[in-house]
Structures are given as structure tokens and as C-alpha cells.
Chains A and B, each alone.
Chain A
Amino acid sequence: MDSATWELIGRNLWPMLVATITQTIPLAAISFVFGLVIALFVALARLSTIRPIAAAARVYISLIRGTPLLVQLFIVFYALPQIGLVIDPFPAAVFAFSLNVGGYAAEVIRAAILSIPKGQWEAAETIGMGYTTTLQRVILPQAARTAVPPLSNTLISLVKDTSLASTILVTELLRVAQLAAAPTFDFFALYGVAAVYYWVICLILSFAQNRLEARLERYVAR
């Protein structure tokens, strides 16, 4: 690489870092939190004995998993305005990503809840706990152990998927790299830097995942 390329990289390291910290990471974090809340309710709906509720949850999951994330983004940002719903790029992205995570994580949470033996529900029932208390204090803390590895996958995918938000005008990491590379056609250098940034975030998340798993394993015999 010549010095001009190095200079180009040097000039863009900081703006790309700013985009990562102010756009990419908040976009992933906020969407993940909202997504988990949606997922929990969808999972519980899917487990409901009331059929229409369970069916609605199934349709939701099917729609989310059966359509491309990019299409979901476009529907929220480009199609909704047609029916009078105009949303800014960043909230539109949060909205689409949250719904998407909600669909995928719902199945993870559902499976994790089902992995808890029936005896745990019964023990909680005999000491007088209701459904919500049992979930909060008995089932979900244990289900978390099962759910953390697959949910970490979801989060790591989400971090990388936020790059799709560049297509709806969110100036996140990839968008900044694109804009910087456009005048010089030096895509290799700037997309390379973007890739490294994504990778570093995911390394940190993997590390956090290991820590969390170790913490949740502390009450389990090995």
C-alpha cells in the first residue's frame, strides 16, 4: 500500500470509530434489548394454552424468519411512509432490528423455558407462587443458562447486520467507510478497517459471553 492509502486510513480511523460508538453500537444494543423483551412475550405467547395467542406468535415468528432482514428494513423505512408513517432512519432501523431479534430470540427463549423440568414449576406451585413469580424467580434464571450461548449468537449477528442500516441512510460504520472510500475508490483499505472494527466488537462480546456463561454455571455440578 502506498502512503496515500495509509494517509486515507489514518484520516478515517477516527470518524469510523465515532460512527461505531455513536451509531453501530447503540443501534445493536437498543435493538437487542427491545428484541429480547419482544422475544420473551412472543415465547410465552407461543407456549400459551390459549390457541389464538399461540397461533399469532407462530405467524409472527414465521414472518420474521421467512423474510430477509433487508426487506424488513425497507418495509419499515421506505414502505410505511406510503401509508403515512414516516420514521427517521435510526429509529426505523431500531424498529426493524428489534422486530427481527424478537422473532429469532423467541424460539431460543421458548426452547430454554421448555428445557426446565416440570418439577420446578410444580415445586414453585406448591410453595404458593403464581405464574409470573415462578417465571421471574425460578424458570427464567435457570433458562438463562441454556439461552445465553444462542442469544449471544443472535447479538453477534445483529452487530454485523446493523451494516444493513447503511441502506436506509443511517450513518453507521459501514456507511462512513463507503462515503470515505467513494472519492478515491480505495475500497480495500476502508472496508478492511470497517471489518476490523466489527471483528473487535464481536471479540469483546464473545469474551463477555464466556464470562456470563461461567457465572451462570456456578450452581451446576461439573
Chain B
Amino acid sequence: MSELAIESSTEPDLLTVRGVRKAFGELAVLRDISFAVPAGTVTVVIGPSGSGKTTVLRTLNALDRADAGVIGIGDVSVDFSQPVDRATLARFRAQSGMVFQAHNLFPHRTVLQNIIEGPVIVQKRPKAEAIDDARRLLEQVGLGQKADQFPYQLSGGQQQRVGIARALALKPKLMLFDEPTSALDPELVGDVLRVIRDLAADGWTMVIVTHEIRFAQQVADQVLFIEDGVVLESGPPAQVLGAPSEARTRQFLQRILDPI
């Protein structure tokens, strides 16, 4: 892993986040978030509940609009302290694909329809081509046989993998995962993590919010520990997870790895 980190540090940054702030009413959730993600690397975001880690992820897709700060993904850079016009926002959004904790599949559409919805309706790609792509993606996430099922007919892990395929189908540059396994039964977690690990091996640039520390150790090139709306500590997993320099990071890891 450390080799990979060194190798990737020569890559240009695909994602740069500078001075991002976000408040909900009086509550400042993100106070000053800055970090960069080199292309082809995986960044895992950890932190206590309420630390703002999910909000960080959501600002990257403008699901939550940052109040201030600059976020650049690929060649689209947005300064959120200024008013953002619709077209720019749409272009910014199109840079990243989002996988939700609760998968949020469209329940009234089949697995295949869920995946081609974005490519066909939003990106206006030819339907036949989108279907070919979708079937390939379904094979990739191990669900080749489930194309014509409705989401309710799948297990939680399968639903989540469809959610991943749906995000991939839009061919984003960056994949965002918001606690993709937190809502799953423990025995289903592995299937989803394996799919994400394979994406990492394929060279996808990803930002993953998760509580799966062992998984983070395996796939992350960079770990961010977020608390109280700031990045308290960041670095390669061996450092942040293995030998954290901050007492708060140590406390947090201890609580997660040894809950009682």
C-alpha cells in the first residue's frame, strides 16, 4: 500500500478542496475543510458521528451546497462563496457519482432501468448502448442475473451493489461513497466492500466515508480523520490508523475497534 501511495503522489490531484465551510442554520458543521485527492487514489474519511464527515462528502456533489470554499474536480472548479449558475452546478455534479448509505434505488424501476435512467434520460445516450453498458456493470458487481428484478427482490448488499452500478453508469471521474455498508447485515458487508476494492484496483478515484477500519487499511491511500468540522489528522493509513499522532484519533479508533 505504501508503494501505491508514493506512486500516486506523483499523480495530479483530481479533487481539491480548499477552505470549505457549511452551516445548517446556527450550527457550523464544516468549519474549514481542505484536502486533495490525487487521481487514481482512494481517500477514506473517518470520524465520530456528528463530526461532519458525511457533510464533507455531500458538499463534493453539491447535495449540500458549501457556504464558502473552492472545490475542484477534474477541470471543473467551483467557488461556493459566489453564486453558482445552474449550468456550472450541473457540470460540477456530473464529475462525481454518489453511493448512498440507504442506496436510494428507484423502487418502481427494475435493476436495469435504475442503471440506465441517468445515461438515457440525463445524458441522452442511445438506449441500446446504455443497456449494453448496464449489463456489463451488473456483471462487474456480480449481479448479471438480476437485471429484470425490482429492488425489493434483492438483498441489502445486492441493492447497494446496484447503487454502485447506477453511479458508475454515468462515467464520473470521482466516486463518492457515504457509509456504503452501514445499513447492511454484517454478512452482506463483504460483498459490497469487495466491489469497492475491485474499483480501487481498476484505478478509480474514490472518497469513502466508512467505519470499516480494516477495509480502510487495505484500500486507502489516504485517511482523513474529521472531527468538529475540521480535518484533524490526515496521511497514509499506516500513519493515521496505525500510529495516530492525535489523542482524539486514538480515542476514536479505540472506541470503534473495541466498542465495549
**A residues adjacent to B (C-beta < 8 A):** 117, 119-120, 122-123, 125-129, 133, 137-138, 141-142, 218-221
Q: Which of B106, B123, B153, B170 contacts A120 (CB 8 A)?
A: B106
Report the nearest A residue to B151, measured CB to CB.
Answer: A219
User: Could you list 21 A-B pairs, sorted by A, with CB under 8 Å?
Assistant: A119-B100, A120-B104, A120-B106, A122-B63, A122-B100, A122-B104, A123-B106, A126-B61, A126-B97, A126-B98, A127-B166, A127-B167, A128-B90, A128-B94, A128-B122, A129-B122, A142-B108, A218-B150, A219-B109, A219-B152, A221-B152
Report the nearest A residue to B152, measured CB to CB.
Answer: A221
Report the nearest B residue to A123, measured CB to CB.
Answer: B104
Report the nearest B residue to A118, measured CB to CB.
Answer: B104
Q: Which 7 A-B pairs have the closest CB atoms?
A: A127-B118, A123-B104, A119-B104, A221-B152, A128-B122, A126-B98, A219-B150
Report the nearest A residue to B98, measured CB to CB.
Answer: A126
1/0 per residue B80-117: CB within 8 Å of A?
A: 00000000001001100110101011111100000001
* A142, B170: Cα distance in complex, Å: 23
Q: Which residues of A contact B106 (CB under 8 A)?
A: 120, 123, 138, 142
1/0 per residue B145-166: CB within 8 Å of A?
A: 0000011110000000000001
Number of A-B contacts (CB under 8 A): 59
Q: Which of A137, A142, A218, A219 contacts B117 (CB 8 A)?
A: A137
Q: Is A125 touching B63 in the complex (CB atoms < 8 A)? A: yes
Q: Is A128 touching B118 in the complex (CB atoms < 8 A)? A: yes
Q: Is B107 touching A137 in the complex (CB atoms < 8 A)? A: no
Q: Which residues of B contact A129 (CB under 8 A)?
A: 118, 121-122
1/0 per residue B56-91: CB within 8 Å of A?
A: 000001010000000000000000000000000010
Report the nearest A residue to B86, measured CB to CB.
Answer: A130
Report the nearest B residue to A128, measured CB to CB.
Answer: B122
